[in-house]
Amino acid sequence: MTEEVHTPRLDRAGSASARRKKSTLLFLRDLLVIFLVAVLVSFLIKTFLIRSFFIPSQSMEQTLVMDDRIIVNQLIPEVTPITHGDVVVFKDPGGWLPAREEAQQPPLIAAVDWFLAFVGLSAPDSNDHLVKRVIGLPGDHVVCCNALGQLSVNGVPLDEPYVALPPGETKVSRDDFDKVVPDGSLWVMGDNRYNSKDSRYNGETPLEGFVPIDNVVGRAFVVSWPIDHWAWLGNYPETFAGVDEGTG
């Protein structure tokens, strides 16, 4: 009768191998948990706090240049009210953007793009949104232009340092207008005033060029990419000083 013998060396080797295997599995488990938590946190931040958009047009130059990427504070307007001069991202109120056919992507690229959008690192819906500067709040009387070519809000003429005009032009709008902003709406304009299809040029749409506050996704507060364009986006309170107390 043969008796099976286990040597201590073999036992130790097997035990070490089992420990290494267990350690590897624990590491992979922890890595998966960290990844899932990071994805969840990114999703929550993107859903409730901030998210990224890219600039698809030239209408906000030179403040924002085409293909700039911006970070948007989504606590506006639900938590923090919109103010004059804010640069806001909003959904098309209807008829502002031309109809476009959705480009077909290979399945793998579409899946990656979906995941990056899910965690807020991509913005495939940027072409469905617009970015403009808030000039008129509900109840404001917005008029352009006076003898100096300035726009006025509630009777207060504005000195607008952010406006880009073609060489030789002094009027901040090619076309004159006189509007009172309805309740729950905004009057918005691009900084590139002679190349922006904003509230002035959407008067034939169902909402006559006004943007419902409910359509606002949030306020852009920083240019995040490319690095050499990095900048905080201000709302120029000195420009709009006295507007709230204006006579309309």
Task: Looking at 145-239, list the stretches that DSSP marks H as alpha helix, in order from N- to C-terminal side.
Answer: none
| Best CA proximity match to 160, nearest among 170, 169, 168, 150 | 150
Q: Kindly name the residue from 52, 57, 122, 132 that is annotated as catalytic.
A: 132
Q: Kindly name the residue from 46, 52, 57, 59 that is annotated as catalytic.
A: 59
**Is 59 an active-site residue?**
yes
**Is 132 an active-site residue?**
yes
First-to-last C-alpha distance (Å) of the chain = 110
Residue 53 carries which side chain, given as an amino acid letter? F
Return d(Cα 129, Cα 182) in angstroms, integer. 22
Other beta carbons within 10 angstroms of residue 35's beta carbon come to 10
- CA of 68: how far to CAs of 71, 123, 225, in Å? 10, 12, 6
Position of tokens 């340092």? 161
Active site positions, annotated: 59, 132
